[in-house]
A and B are shown apart, each in its own frame.
Chain A
Amino acid sequence: MRAPDTILPLRAEGLGFSTGGIAILSNVSLTLEAGSPSIIVGPNGAGKSVLLRLLHGLLTPSTGRVLWAGDAARRQAMVFQRPVLLRRSVLANAVYPLKLAGITAAERESRARAALEMVGLAALADRPARRLSGGEQQRLALARAAALSPEVLFLDEPCASLDPTATRAVEEIVGTLAARGTKIVMTTHDLGQARRLAGEVLFLNRGRLREQTPAAAFFNQPATPEAAAFLRGELVW
């Protein structure tokens, strides 16, 4: 399903971000390849969300740069911790980004409905989006992003404010998208979730990338003492 003009791998070179004189992220260099999900873990304040926003292009790096292999403008999407839903119906929310992307009216609706079907919201298409439960809202945000058929999907703590049932639903959808060939780049503070989803783990601590390791290796034998302490559930800083 991957177009020959792929935008991956995504490379970051010496990425840094500071605001108000405080460095949030320093000297992060990484390469993200097509394939299984890359999960970014680390304690609160490690800079996970900022890294995701820099990669997605929502923030401008203070130092370094983000390099895509192709024109990434319309080939990536992001799902936020708290879904920002438009004051419109569920279907209209899924259609909106497709309209911005310049997709024809007929195709917009069929793609939006297919995406709602995938997340199990097809029956609620005509409901006002902001009347959905928290879990349904996040599934709609996922459908909205998925309808764009992005090559890379960024997710910033998508389950942080959800109950276990809703979390499981979100993880299943993320798994489905990954299986379809969408590159998942996701932050989480939930190690169980990282174990369930990760192909590789990026461990971030105090604004620095400490490890980028295949998931099995990371969970069995982390390379850095900070990651080992983090996995043991100790407070690291």
Chain B
Amino acid sequence: MSTEVKSKYIDPVTHEVLTPTEYRIRQKAKMKKKLGKVGFNIVFFVIVFGICFIILYPLFVKFSVAIRSQADLYDTTVIYIPRHFSLETLKSIWDLVLKDQVMTMDNNIIINTVWTSLLAAVTQTVACTLVGYGFARFKFPGKNLVFGLVILCLVVPPQTIQLTYSLHMQNFDFFGIVNYLFRTRVNLLDSAIPFALIGLTAQGYKNGLYVYMIRQNFRNLPKELEEAAYVDGAGSLRTFVQVMLPSATSILVSIFLFAFVWQWTDTYYSGVFLENIKVMSKVLNSLAQSYWMAFKSALEQSNIPNALASQINNIGSILVIAPLFILYTFTQRFFVESVERSGIVG
């Protein structure tokens, strides 16, 4: 009889035999703890997914605005879900503006954009990796000074040197030597060379940040790796390529993604270096205007209606973002991994 009572009031963890009151008190405390945990989790998820919602909301609105008919733009009862699904604006943008720029072989905006972005991304990744590695794994006098210069390049607003930058590329020279010897000027504008040049010399958009991130990544690798490679007879370059680089894949992919995307959506460098060559970001910037210029002849009205301009900009944004979105869904795991990786402590 007594054994039955005992088996009823046994603490599940410590297997102590308890009196009913004690048992109830413990049970209550356990419930309280559990409830607290559940409450905390609820708050946590509300915050996290709330922020996710705030981030995703503009995308959703963009999409919703893009796929509605023009009548729905003025319908006050339509907020998120359009009453009339239609791609008429997209179709007319395609017919009036984009068709000529995409369907030709010469000065094709898609080819131009992909080419400049790829070039910038590859060169910047290579150069920043070298520089970041140099900062992370070597000790030499003047290191902090040079790192200060990297930060300086990041801090000076690019617009400060915009004009002289373009003059420099128009009159490209290496410390006046070419000019002095050959008495000619080398015009690099309207070509992809400036993108490659500033990429290879780690002077592209926010390259200081990339250098910093890569430095941080390599800094945390154990010194024993290097020493083992040295004992096995590998030189500095070989150590870099065969020992260090393979462990940095995820940060390299992240940097590549950053460089690619920021070149894709960039208007500053394409504004400085390219005049006649068209890229997506520049076309998007004036999409509403050029659409209206082509459309106006049919309708005698000088200003584009606000709602229509907004819709056109939303559609344009989606067209520019879509490839990036696809790229990001494939590469985001490297992003997350790069965070985990840089946590290795030597």
The answer to whether A and B come from one shared complex is no
Chain B residues in the interface with A (C-beta under 8 A):
none
Chain A residues in the interface with B (C-beta under 8 A):
none
